[in-house]
Amino acid sequence: MPTRVKSALQVELNETHEKQVDLKEKPVEKNNGIGIENFLHGKVMFIAGATGFFAKVLIEKILRTMPGISKIYLMIRAKDKEDAKQRLKNEIVDVELFKFLKQKYGEHYEAFMYSKLVPVVGNVGTSNLGMEEDLASEIAKEVQIIVNSAGDIVFDQRAREFGWRNTYGFTKALGEMLIDQMRGEIPIVIIRPSGILSTYKEPFPGWIEGIK
């Protein structure tokens, strides 16, 4: 091979190698998705139906991937504050679903959880959500995001008089219509999953509870 051709080929190979090295050394930029993480940073949430399957998975996801959230009020049906705290421990903090958070924070796990999660005595089926007036006012001033995954799960025949299969679907429909009428300028998202089974991938496959 002529010397001139060899030199040109060597230069090309060197340039290719330099580009490959540059690509390897260049840091990978973090993909922020649609911006949920940034949006939730420093925010205060209120979750109704906090001890239900869906809410637990949501709480775990937020605390694991967005620990910058300020606080999450959890509405729990309970006799009093102590009972609500006990349900928080038994049905959320001590549950296997949160094992990766336990591994991450170790002996500081409970301190982290209680710094983020605030149990609130309430009942979605009662007036003013069954909450103390002063506490409800305080929460209303602090909270920027509300997630309602609570519902009356008493299935009976009364709803059939109105053309509904059960009270569960009937009361959900009523609630959604009221929200639409009263929301004013507040942005609302209503999500109705077709069915809730076990976890698919996160935080690990196959977690489920309350099999019926």
DSSP-derived secondary structure for 138-155: HHHHH-SEEEE-------
Check which CATH number belongs to the domain holding 83 and give it. 3.40.50
Rounded average pLDDT over 6-18: 50
Cα Dmax for the chain: 94
The one catalytic residue among 105, 109, 114, 168: 168
Tokens of 181: 């009428």
Domain-embedded: residue 210: no
Residue 79 bears catalytic tag: no
More confident residue, 12 or 48: 48
**Number of domains observed in the structure of the chain:** 1
Whether residue 194 is contained in a domain is answered as no
Give exposure, 40-63, as e/b (b: 16+ Cβ within 10 Å): beebbbbbbbbbbbebbbbbbebb
Length in residues, the chain: 212
Does 198 map to a domain? no
What is the average per-residue pLDDT within 168-195? 82
Q: Is 150 part of any domain?
A: yes
On whether residue 187 sits in a domain, the answer given is no
Give residue 143's domain range: 36-182
Residue 91 lies in a domain: yes
Model pTM greater than 0.75?
no
Question: In 3D, which of 147, 186, 143 has the Cα closest to residue 44?
Answer: 143
> Is 56 among the residues known to form the active site?
no
Q: Which of 102, 116, 172, 200 is catalytic?
A: 172
State pLDDT tens for residues 74-91: 999 999 999 999 999 999
